[in-house]
Structure 1
Amino acid sequence: MNSHNTSHSCRILIVEDEKVTALDLKLTLEDLGYEVVACVSSGEAAIAAATEQNVDLILMDIHLDTAMLGTEAAKIIMQKTGIPVLFLSAYSDDQTLDDASDSLPYGYMVKPFEKREVDAAIRIALARYSADLELRRSEERLRLALEAARMSIWEWTPDNDEDIRLNVSHTPPQLISESLDDLLVNIHPDDRDKIHKQIGSHQRHQQPVRFRKHEGNDYRWVELFASLFRWENGDRRVIGVLHDVHERYLADEQLRQANAVFNSTSEGILITDAQRRVLNVNPAFSQITGYTQADVQGKNPDEFLHARRHSDQFYPRLINDAQGYWSGEIACQRKNGEFFQAWEHVCTVLSDDGQLQNFVITFSDISELRRVEKNLATLAYMDALTGVGNRVRLEQVVSDALADGIEAPGSVGILYLDLDGFKLINDTLGHSEGDLLLRVMADRFKQTVRDEDTVVRIGGDEFVIVITNAEQEDDLKVVAEKLLQAVQQPVSLSREKVEVSASIGIVLSRPSVQEYEELLKAADTALFEAKRQGKNRYCIYDFALAMEFNERLRIERSLKQAIRNDELALEFQPLIDLQTSRVYGVEALCRWYHNELGMIPPDRFIPIAEQSDVIVDIGSWVLRESCRVLRGWMDSGLPELKVSVNVSARQLTDSRFAALVSRVLTEFNIAPEQLELEITETALQANEQILRQLEHIHKSGVGLAIDDFGTGYSSLSRLKELTFDRVKIDRSFVRDLPHSSNDIEICRAVMALCQVLSLQVTAEGVENHEQLDMLRELGCHCIQGYLFSRPLRPELLADWIRQTDIAAVLR
């Protein structure tokens, strides 16, 4: 344990529904010297623990086991206990940040994070909470001091306008009973109207007045405090104090200075006269600046404190300002010449007749806070794994460069780089080795480009290099060649040496492409083309790609209206059981009939939809429409079928997806066993949350199938971790059967594996009897393809099922 951590005595409550994450965080905190009082997984448990246990700080995840979000729990905890909350979340979208801000947290960290980040965030949160607590204590001390003042108390019970009597207790005690009018005779004529109008009509009243005990005596200044109370029966009573403050009033200037200076405050305070000459300072001022009161007595603060003087118009504007104060950050200087940043508050003190008497200047040293903020800002723009910039940094650099390019010549070059084969290394050697490879590559990229260029990692194995002041595409080609050579150099990992390549998409800003999002999408389009051409190369965004890019943009914009405009439709392709010679199910396939573009094939619009949230809406529509059609078939007397629906990885990351499946099944009275969800191998690589959600769905009775098996990089352990029901062999392995010996062996191996794991096998893309016979020989259970039927609209498929002799086709 580091020695600087042993001084921590903070008791921390962890609220995290991921047990492994909670345990890792607990061990990290204990290693830092903090005490973890408990680890809970729901907002309700967090509220109970915060109420029952002695907790100094709560580390709160936002999305938890139960319906209650961490932001809701944080609000309740702050209201009940005031315990500070620091959010730890994997989400940073605008809605989540807005919800988190509403609960007034003491910090927000985005997962994943480093050990030092956690320590820094906790320290800052505790420092801020300590400062808030000290401020509340200071306010309480002031309240108690006011209550401790010895003042005469009076009480007035108004009966009616004709007979109002006032009891006043003086020092020495004496009781005077007289009508209010008689009492007002002893108040100075200029003050009577104010008292008569306000007393008894305001909830609280405070007013200095001139008062004399008897006619002929001199008027003395007294201060009248009053509070109006109303009883349930409608009676009113005024209770307050009447205090002789004549001597205090005569010494008003000295008393105002005394009240303005709090010797216990941590802020530096100076009091000057109207000419800004220092009259008094507090101990904190000397502690912060090193100046004693004798050093600064009679001097203007601009002469010794401010590193840069206030402008000549500053104080005249402040005097004429209705509020009479100013706050802001300013550079200050200590006695030893050291500069520091301070937050300064300057206010005017006026006499009762509105004349300027004093300036009160308070300030606090915020240099340490600014250093911490700078470090946090650096972290906000930095990828925690590799040390290069992150997506936020990318947007900032590109946007600034584009803005500068408006005034000065020069274009912005974007090189979008993706490591070829990284997923294979990550899966076979482990994530730690994959992370090491990413760090090595990030260092190589930084060494390859100029210092003024920017390297960022936007996620996974994808990097973007921003070249500023690029003049032509040939310059970017040179950089791309250097990057490809740097990537190809062998990398020595912890256990073995590996070699990888890269694909690069290049775009140069021009009048037609001048927005951040457009540049990034254009570079991504060029990257996709580089991968399509065989990888380990670069591709420049040109006119042909621009046409494709514009089409993608048009499709993306139109997709958002497709459901609303009723442009989507479903077609169904039958799934044939070879053992029973019957249709046991159908696969739902989405079709898009655009009003202007015509029929857009799924392989064209689905990948575009996958890159935005619109895939979630399309997927929900397909699921509901499939169940609606199935219900119609069942009601029409069609034999019982199973409907198979494709689900994207983005749908599975939505925590509400399982509830959606259950709700749709209930709505159309469909048994869970009649629904099957098809998931691609790529989706299984997304995260553990997807696997947990699939496990929950499968337990409800819904079937699961792996689609396009053999085309991804998924580990075979996924088949063991999740209870799948069926594996679909991709059509690319069926197309050349029975003439390709490689495809035969691949299909044979898949079927042998599935037999061991008790999984059903479906072969896609069966178009002739030669393929059918070979698949039968290999032991395939089910087939799907044009040999039987193309995808059909619901009404046509129902007729096909009724009229087709499956056994005859199989012969």
Structure 2
Amino acid sequence: MLLSGLANTVYRILIIDDDIQNIFVLEDILAPLGNIYFSESGSNALALVDKIKPDVILLDIEMPDMDGWQVCNALKSNPRYRDIPIIFITGHTEPEFEKLALESGGVDFITKPFNASICCLRVHTQLKIRQQNHLIIKAKEELQQLVNQVPMLITYWDNEGHNLFSNDYSGAWFESLSGQVSGKHISTIFPNELSRAVLMHQPNVTSDPLKYIVTVIDKLGMSFYEVFQSKMKSSAGVDGYLVTVVDVSEVKHAKQALYSEKERLRVTLNSIGDAVIATDTKGLITFMNPIAERMTGWRIKEALHQKIETVMQLRDANTRHTLLNPLYIALREQRIVAMALNSQLTARGGQVFAVEDSAAPIRNENGEVIGAIMVFHDVSEAMAMAMKMSHLANHDQLTDLPNRILLQDRLSVACSTAKSFGSKAAALLVDIDHFKYLNDSLGHQLGDEMICLMAQRLRSLIPPSYTLARLGGDEFVILMSDTHSVDATSVLASKLVEAMHEPFTLAEQKFSVSISIGISVYPNDAADAEELMRHADVAMYRAKQEGRNRFSFFSHDLESNIRERHQLETCLRNAIANDELLVHYQPKFDLATKHIVGAEALVRLVGPDGVFISPTEFIPLAEETGLIIKLGKQVLLKACAEAKHWLDMGQVIPVSVNVAVAQFSDPNLANLIEKALTDYQLPAELLELEITETALMIDAAEMQTKLSQLKSLGIKISIDDFGTGYSSLSYLKKFNVDVMKIDMSFVKDMLNNKHDYEIVKTIISLGKSMSLALIAEGVETEEQRLALLELECTMGQGYLLSRPLSADDFNAFLFANEN
């Protein structure tokens, strides 16, 4: 390519398919090639094409609203989209489908099921072809633009002297070149002197350019042209010769140009913002510009032929000693010399400037030194600004405390000092408990005020020799350097926690806050500054876990727990990202007939060692890290797909899916469920959401609205783990729910504990009075089953009947129960 190179293009790939599973598979296959976009309908895809401008489109043939042929015809009939390559995808393998796809304008054909490597290769080939086409077009445009803009006249003529090409379309070189000149003879286009010279040289030219000068006299005066003439054959096979013309008239007026340049130089030196002083080889001043006059206090008339050190008095800013002017070094060593650091110029009137820049020798046309020039400027404001910028770079803008950068430096110094003198250094990481909620409720402005008040209080509680830094947000660090006792850190931490019991005053209101502190000590806990901070963070996390409003020291067991938690989080994130979560199904039974009446979807996670990880470990982590919404979505989709599979087998089995608090609060939950029911063509009455009693009580009014919205879709709502929360019956009767599940903690001991039995009995009675279906969890013995039936609870689930089963095992279980 001429100017355009092969850039690192991020391709845009659009997949149009009404089957979401196909889209997921293709997305995984094609992800390495670029950004993936998709649409599940042809009509929506047409609007999406204009928005994302894809580089390639993978188009399913059979779709409900618009099939692939219609979408393809719509794209090819639009001039803006017709050059986008379309690859058809279908389950048909007959040749006539492939033929029809290519005739419709498709560039390739991919069959299902997809072969990942072949599919990726076919798409990659079309992307590279499209990129090459773009580059070729761009290169042609750039070449034409370059030819049009070069500062020379480029022409091409056949052997008889007729014009074949000219890059001058407007007559900028010669008036006769304006308009249509193709086919005209050179004598009618070029000035006489120039055309005669070209025709005279034409018989003798070869492929090597022939160069000569032509003088042309016209009404504007005398012009001089340098001509390059050579034989050439065009890409079309036409023999001829290339003539390029360069105007060299300026060279003939060198003296005038030199004078103009000299005048411009004089004006420039008098106008620039830097001071300029020139001397001869002895250091006697020959020139000063106005800035130099102002800074030195000397007029040019007074300064001429004065020694430069007389006019320009330089001193060291720290020692006040007189400095040798660098101009003398430039003269002696015949090189550019920078001014000494911290140089000060004392003007004639006593004013002092911080100055910097350099001196350089002046040479004549023979390279001989004939003097020197001193260029300098006032850097007083720049130095003040540099100091301010340095402070800003190392301090927190809100509290003016040392920031992370300066803290890291001081941590390193403290650890090095402790190592050298056998002492200790400690880092106390301080975090305000529940600050996010406080910040959200107060507003960020008052939240910032709280941070400043906290900084002031912390600073008042520690000795001046300690470093108090702000890491950001609500985190502070106290560095105790050169300490000899670990007990001292405990005393200080206890003092800090206790001091926070005094309320803060914000907007004339009192606010009580607490802090959690993590402590790490060098060299007891850490080998360097980085590890010291990391271990303090681990210790702070433990203080949070233990209830906040306290401090905690680092231990290696704690670090191990944090590492295991990180590994579990990584495993969970990978499983969600790769769609590797498993869903098991626990049957729900009619306790009297033992017939299956439903199934509960339960998520399962497999660790790197292939062993199942308990939901009690990864579900709380998913809620804490915000992964629970993505996790819940995958479980919902898999459960809907499986329920549709059972329905297709002739088994009408409702499936229930647990919904976490964060999911239930998600404003997109209803849309997600509605789309899942549509995509899998699952009747709404076969989907049940299990919502915990506690979740419903967060905001009863809002939850009632949310439940009504979900119920309008036709699905069922179940209250899970009933009896373990704190719900009010007055609220409970307002909730539009269908099912009440009795928590297994009550069922487990109902025959051994009178209180549990009465609780189960009361819950059943309450459910019946509200016309709710009742399901008992954790039914493990025959005696429990009979007791529940006696209490008129007709449905249950538990190990007596079946443990949770994989999808395949559940299907086998269904088949066995039929027989």
TM-score normalised by the chain length of structure 1? 0.52
Q: Quote the offset at 1:508 in angstroms.
A: 1.1
- Letter matched to residue 215 of structure 2: N
Shift of 1:729: 7.6
- Are positions 1:267 and 2:277 aligned together? no
Q: What residue in structure 1 maps to residue 807 of structure 2?
A: 794
1:481, distance to aligned residue in structure 2 (A): 1.6
Amino acid paired to 2:493: A
Alignment identity in percent? 21
Once residues 448 and 685 of structure 2 are traced to their aligned partners in structure 1, the CA distance between those partners, rounded to angstroms, is 39
C-alpha separation in 2, matches of 1:716 and 1:312: 81
Q: Report the alpha carbon displacement of residue 487 of structure 1 after superposing the two structures with TM.
A: 0.6
CA deviations over 1:465-490 (Å, ceiling 9, x no partner)? 23233333212112102201211123
Aligned pairs (5 A) from 1:120-519: 159=198, 160=201, 164=212, 166-167=214-215, 234-240=242-248, 241-245=250-254, 255=262, 258-259=265-266, 261-273=268-280, 278-287=285-294, 290=297, 292-293=299-300, 294=302, 297-300=306-309, 304-305=313-314, 307=316, 331-335=343-347, 344=357, 348-372=361-385, 374-375=387-388, 378-379=391-392, 381-383=394-396, 386-391=399-404, 394-395=407-408, 397-399=410-412, 401-402=414-415, 410-420=423-433, 422=435, 435-458=448-471, 461-510=474-523, 513-514=526-527, 518-519=531-532
Counterpart residue type for residue 237 of structure 1: V
Partner letter of residue 635 of structure 1? Answer: H
SS in 2 for 1:503: strand
Residue by residue over 1:135-170, the C-alpha shift from the partner in whole angstroms, topping out at 9 and shown as x without a partner, is: xxxxxxxxxxxxxxxxxxx99776238695521669
1:511 Cα deviation from its structure 2 partner? 6.9
User: Which of residues 570, 574, 591 in structure 1 aligns to 2:605?
Assistant: 591
The whole-number CA distance in structure 1 between the counterparts of 2:562 and 2:351 is 56
> Which of 728, 738, 758 lines up with 1:748 in the alignment?
728
Relative to structure 1, is the Cα distance of residues 454 and 664 closer, same or farther in structure 2, using a 3 angstrom cutoff? farther
Paired with 1:328 and 1:705, the residues of 2 have a C-alpha distance of 77
- SS of the aligned residue for 1:270 comes to strand
Give the distance between the partners of 2:401 and 2:363, measured in 1 at CA: 55
SS at match of 1:352: coil
- 3-state SS of the aligned residue for 1:795? helix
Q: Is the 8 A contact 1:594 1:600 kept in 2?
A: no
Kept in 1: contact 2:329–2:337 (CA 8 A):
no
Contact 2:583 2:639 (C-alpha < 8 Å) held by counterparts: no
Segments of 5+ residues of structure 1 without an aligned counterpart are 1-65, 69-153, 181-198, 203-231, 677-701, 736-742, 806-811
For residues 809 and 541 of structure 2, the distance between their equivalents in structure 1, rounded to whole angstroms, comes to 38
Alpha-carbon distance change, 706 to 559 in structure 1, aligned in 2, over 3 angstroms:
closer
Q: Once the two structures are superposed, what CA deviation does each residue of 1:606-641 show, in whole Å capped at 9, x if it has no partner?
A: 7778898xx76x976874576356435523536464
- 2:641 is the alignment partner of 1:631: yes
Are the counterparts in 1 of residues 426 and 481 from structure 2 also a CA contact under 8 Å?
yes
Counterpart contact for 1:710–1:729, Cα < 8 Å: no
Gap change, CA 1:320 and 1:537, over 3 Å in 2? same
- Give the Cα separation in 1 of the matches to 2:292 and 2:737: 78
Change in CA separation of 1:284 and 1:491 when aligned onto 2, cut-off 3 Å? same
Match of 1:527 among 504, 518, 540: 540
**1:497-520 Cα distance to aligned partner (Å, 9 max, x none):** 343333322111327624555434
Q: 1:406 to 1:437 in 2, by over 3 A?
A: same
Flag the 1:369–1:772 CA change in 2: closer, same or farther, 3 A.
Answer: farther
Q: Distance in 2 between matches of 1:317 and 1:734?
A: 96
Deviations 1:8-57 (A, max 9, x none): xxxxxxxxxxxxxxxxxxxxxxxxxxxxxxxxxxxxxxxxxxxxxxxxxx
How far 1:445 moved relative to its partner?
0.6
CA separation in 1, counterparts of 2:394 and 2:524? 28
* 1:549-588 alignment, distance < 5 Å: 549-552=562-565, 569-571=582-584, 586-587=600-601
Q: Is the 8 A contact 2:604 2:615 kept in 1?
A: yes
Contact kept in structure 1, 2:585 and 2:805, CA below 8 Å: yes
Q: Which has the larger radius of gyration?
A: 2
| 3-state secondary structure, aligned to 1:631 | helix
CA contact (8 A) 1:318 1:325 kept: no
How far apart, in 1, do the equivalents of 2:600 and 2:688 lie? 13
Q: Deviations over 1:180-219 (max 9, x none)?
A: 9xxxxxxxxxxxxxxxxxx6579xxxxxxxxxxxxxxxxx
Contact 1:567–1:593, Cα closer than 8 Å, also in 2: no
> 3-state SS of the aligned residue for 1:412?
strand
Shift of 1:299: 0.8
- CA change 1:156–1:704 in 2 (3 A) is farther
Once the two structures are TM-superposed, the CA of residue 718 in structure 1 deviates from its matched residue by 7.1
Change (3 A) 1:560 1:747: closer
Give secondary structure in 2 for the equivalent of 1:235. Answer: strand
Contact 2:449 2:506 in 1 (8 A): yes
1:567/1:258 CA distance change after superposition, 3 Å: closer
Q: 1:556 to 1:643 in 2, by over 3 A?
A: closer
Mapped contact 2:298–2:311 kept (Cα < 8 A)? no
Distance 1:762 1:658 in 2: 25
Letter in 2 for 1:298: K
Matched residues in 2 for 1:763 and 1:439: separation?
Answer: 50
Contact in 2 for aligned 1:567/1:594 (Cα 8 Å): no
Closer/same/farther in 2, CA of residues 554 and 628 from structure 1, 3 Å limit: closer
8 Å Cα contact 1:568/1:591 also seen in 2: yes
- The range that moved more, 310-319 or 263-272, is 310-319
Displacement of 1:662 in angstroms is 7.9
Which blocks of at least 5 consecutive residues in structure 2 are unaligned? 1-50, 54-191, 205-209, 230-239, 318-322, 712-716, 748-756, 780-796
Q: Is the 8 A contact 2:741 2:775 kept in 1?
A: yes
**1: CA distance between counterparts of 2:394 and 2:368?**
51
Secondary structure of 1:627's aligned partner: helix
Deviation per CA, 1:97-149, whole angstroms, max 9, x where unpaired?
A: xxxxxxxxxxxxxxxxxxxxxxxxxxxxxxxxxxxxxxxxxxxxxxxxxxxxx
Deviation at 1:386, TM superposition (A): 4.7
Compared CA separation, residues 607 and 501, structure 1 to 2 (3 A): same
Which residue is equivalent to 1:134? none
Instruction: Describe the shift of the 1:663–1:748 C-alpha distance in structure 2 as closer, same or farther (beyond 3 A).
Output: closer
CA drift of 1:413 comes to 1.6
Partner of 2:555: 542
TM-score normalised by structure 2 residue count:
0.52
Q: Secondary structure at the match of 2:808?
A: helix
Counterpart of 2:520, as a letter, is V
Distance 1:405 1:753 in 2: 62
Aligned length: 552
Letter in 2 for 1:284: I
Aligned to 1:210: none
**How far apart, CA to CA, are the structure 1 residues paired with 2:656 and 2:223?**
96
Q: Which amino acid aligns with 2:308?
A: K
Asked if structure 1 preserves the Cα contact closer than 8 Å seen for 2:525 and 2:554, the reply is no
Match in the other structure for 1:61: none
Asked if structure 2 preserves the Cα contact closer than 8 Å seen for 1:573 and 1:784, the reply is no
Is this contact kept in 2: 1:575–1:784, CA < 8 A? no
Q: Tell me, in whole angstroms, the C-alpha distance in 1 between the residues paired with 2:693 and 2:778.
A: 17
Q: How big is each residue's C-alpha offset from its partner over 1:494-547, in whole Å with a ceiling of 9 and x where there is no partner? A: 354343333322111327624555434422332233344443322211343244
CA displacement at 1:708 relative to structure 2: 8.4
